[in-house]
Structure 1
Amino acid sequence: MLRKAGESDQATTMTGRIVAFDRARTFITLLVVIHHSAVNFTHFGNGDRMRWLGFDLVVLFNDSFFMAFMFLISGLFVHDSLTRHGAGGYLRRRAWRLGIPLLVSIFVLIPIAYYASFLRYHLPGTTDFNYFHYWGRMITTGPWPSGQSWFLWVLLVLDVIAAAIWMTAPKILGAFGRLIGALRSRPTMAFAAFVVVSVVSYLPMHLWFGDGAWFEPGHYPFPIQTSRILLYPAYFFTGIGIGVVSLRVGILAEDGEVAKRWTAWLSFAVLFFGLILLLVFAHHHWIENFASPALWWRAAYGTVFAIFSAAMSFTVPATSLRLSRSSLWLLDAMQPSAYGIFLFHYMFIIWMQYFVYDPAWPAGVKAAIVFAVTLGGSWLLTVLLRKIPLVARTI
């Protein structure tokens, strides 16, 4: 029986975390590390001179869904946390878990990371190599890159909005959750509805701004990809709606119809990623004006992109749910450190890209070294820092 909106998810809080969702979140963290390890060796980028087309496909695959899915899965536990802690308690907890890491990231971790890029493009004798001079210039005049921390500030803003809705109109979240919960036994309709949400929230912004534009307030490290300003909130609040009904018996229940049809969602994802590749091929070979493709192409690409994102957002949790009783040792071992790996990996990524830049090694060798050192280094650093009780409460 479905619990009523507003009741606490006792099954989740009494019997522990839901393994499938922990694994899904950890899997996306792993993809983030793979993505950033590979992007410097793609043909579309302007990084290392050694490149491989396969990395372009990896980056395209990830970028077409994984951050939107991160917002979706982040929203799953919002309603239950608001119910248990109230808006004030919820925001205090989010400030601790997101606000403090955000400040540490933009003032400490990201400057350390990008000092490698500073050294790469400012040869000896051409500038002041003093780190503190470089840090001061970054903070006061910019550019001040954000690295992975853009996700933290956007998620924190969405959390504040969710808490405000909870305080002023809590019935809205309850009604939305019940609407989603009613689709538990109608997975095809649920998928179709989510496809509509995905397309409507993404396509207009994609057509207006394109995918390359970023909204950046001055030189401050709070950017967001302009075409996805509506997509990320749409996924986040969909996640909140899913979480209104117990995650153990709602639309993403382990024995639910969505989980049982994981092969269908995977098939849709493969199909629409294939269409993305076809449209990219057309863009490179059949479109005369490469810099400004025709409206039909941009509309087709935006639509296919949004549907693929929706399909992967069904595939990942459904597959995780079906494999919840299987042994996935890497994801299970990474899980306690996943947040720390996400926070720290950028330092290792950029410095390793700096160290492997000059050797004429194949792109695959360079990317493998970058990935191995990044994952191992950020994982080890997280494990060591989590031995400090105060840090363990945060990451």
Structure 2
Amino acid sequence: SVIPLAYYAIALRQTPGLSFSEFWWRTMTVGPWPSGPIWFVYVLMAFDLTASILYRVSPRLLDPINRLSIKGFQRPSKFWLFLVIVSAAAYLPMLIHYGQNYWFEFGPFSVQASRVLLYASYFFIGAGIGAANLEGGVLSAHGRLTERRWFWTGITLIPYCLMWVMIYIKRMIIGNPDPLPGWYLGIYGSFYVLFSASILFAILAYFLQSKSSGPTLLDRMQGDAYGMFLVHYPIVLWLQYWLFDMELPAFAKAAIAFFATVALSWAVTAVLRKIPGSRYVL
């Protein structure tokens, strides 16, 4: 796994001279056994398996979502409201009960407890949109969503600013308590739900509306994107490890780490994909 290699950089900062074999053995036997960003792949695989089983039960389970998507072709705000209501019902009770920091963990498998149903909601709503009639639904390149990019961008800014107000209240007024009171989590979580749905629509509207005369850099990167996601974490952590002691402004370090991570992870993925059979998984 690439994750122990990634976290070894952090362990060296805490315990200089620690060998990788010692770190790896402690991680496997004592823990913690962090999954890093790969937790997303585990969760997505679980959703995929669940969707496959449900499809066997009934191929038409997602039809109601698809019908709402078709209505969203002309009125995307209706589908946005549906997304907000469903994700609020899935997220807020879990957030208030578990708080924002608790994770379900089993060995290297982990997922944030308060968000697991939120992720599931977005996954199955997305599957419902793509189940049929994609070109006649809310994500059609010819629908109303593409015409209102700036509207959704403006809508996104409202809950975003309100979230910062809640952060100010947490830090400066109620003294940053741990755990946070339920009323605070409920209000902040409501703004988070509104922000998540709105920025999703804003981003999708932007990409649906953009028309390029030829392939862009992102288009060229598309085939290697999954591999880049899998290998980028040790690269970015080791870059941060080497940059830590350099006398450079924080902005410069961030820029170097970002662009070097993109370039190196892209190059590593390109090399790995030359291995026979690797293209099936990368």
What TM-score results when the alignment is normalised by the length of structure 2?
0.93
Check conservation: 1:166, 1:173, Cα contact below 8 A. Answer: no
Which residue identity is paired with 1:249?
Answer: G
Structure 1 stretch 343-352 or stretch 165-174: which is displaced more?
165-174
Corresponding residue to 2:4 among 79, 98, 111: 111
Asked if the contact 1:181–1:245 (Cα under 8 Å) also holds between the matched residues in 2, the reply is: no
- What is the match of residue 229 of structure 2? 342
Alignment partner, residue 200 of structure 1: 89
What corresponds to 2:49 in structure 1? 160
Deviation for aligned residue 1:389: 4.0
Amino acid at match of 2:9: A
Query: What SS does structure 1 have at the residue aligned with 2:134?
Result: coil
3-state SS of paired residue (1:223): strand
Amino acid at match of 2:232: H
Partners of 1:180 and 1:115 in 2: how far apart?
46
1:303: Cα distance to partner?
A: 0.2
Encode CA deviations 1:83-103: one digit per residue, 9 max, x unaligned: xxxxxxxxxxxxxxxxxxxxx
Once the two structures are superposed, what CA deviation does each residue of 1:170-198 show, in whole Å capped at 9, x if it has no partner? 22123432343233222221111111112
Q: Which residue of 1 is the match for residue 208 of structure 2?
A: 321
Relative to structure 1, the CA distance from residue 113 to residue 288 in structure 2 (aligned partners, 3 Å threshold; closer, same or farther) is closer
Which residue matches 1:357? 244
| Aligned equivalents of 1:343, 1:187: Cα separation in 2 | 34
Structure-1 residue corresponding to 2:102:
213
Q: Give the Cα separation in 1 of the matches to 2:61 and 2:179.
A: 41
Distance 1:377 1:283 in 2: 39
**Aligned partner of 1:269 among 156, 159, 165:** 156
Q: CA deviation at 1:328?
A: 7.2
Q: CA deviation at 1:141?
A: 2.5
Q: 1:328-347, CA deviations, whole angstroms, 9 ceiling, x for partnerless residues? A: 73322322221111111101
Rate the CA distance shift 1:203–1:235 in 2: closer, same or farther, 3 A. Answer: same
Number of the residue aligned with 2:137: 250
Give 3-state SS (helix, strand or coil) of 1:202's partner: helix
Separation in 2, partners of 1:288, 1:121:
29
In the alignment, the residues of structure 2 paired with residue 151 and residue 214 of structure 1 have an alpha-carbon distance, to the nearest angstrom, of: 13
Contact 2:70/2:133 (8 A) holds in 1: no
AA aligned opposite 1:302: G
Residue of structure 2 equivalent to 1:62: none
| 1:49-198 pair list within 5 angstroms | 108-124=1-17, 129=19, 131-198=20-87
Q: CA RMSD in A?
A: 1.9
Q: Give the secondary-structure state (helix, strand or coil) at the position aligned to 1:216.
A: strand
Offset at 1:155? 0.4
Q: Partner letter of residue 15 of structure 2?
A: H
Question: What residue ranges of structure 2 are gaps of 5+ in the alignment?
Answer: none
Aligned-residue sequence identity (percent) comes to: 38
The SS at the match of 2:177 is coil
Deviation of 1:292 (Å): 4.2
Relative contact order: is structure 1 or structure 2 higher (C-alpha 8 Å, sep ≥ 6)? 1
For residue 319 of structure 1, report the CA deviation from its aligned partner: 0.9
Structure 2 counterpart of 1:18:
none
Of 285, 300, 303, 2:187 maps to 300
- For each residue in 1:288-310, what CA deviation from the matched residue of structure 2 results, as whole angstroms up to 9, or x when unmatched? 45334444332211100011001
Mapped to 1, the partners of 2:109 and 2:182 lie a distance apart of 30
Contact 2:5/2:234 (8 A) holds in 1: yes
CA–CA distance in 1 between the matches of 2:132 and 2:252? 47
Conserved 8 A contact 1:198-1:307: no
**How many residues end up aligned between the 2 structures?**
282
Ranges in structure 1 where 5+ consecutive residues have no aligned partner: 1-107
Letter in 2 for 1:345: H
Deviation at 1:327, TM superposition (A): 5.8
- Contact 2:162–2:191 (Cα < 8 Å) also in 1: yes
Alignment deviations for residues 109-147 of structure 1 (CA, whole Å, 9 cap, x no partner): 1111112122221123xx5x2x23432332233221111
Q: Is the counterpart of residue 239 in structure 1 residue 126 in structure 2?
A: yes
Q: Residue deviations 1:264-299, cap 9 Å, x none?
A: 211111121111112112222222453344443322
Aligned residue number for residue 42 of structure 1: none
Do 1:276 and 1:305's aligned partners in 2 also have CA atoms closer than 8 Å? Answer: yes
1:377 is paired with a residue whose SS is: helix
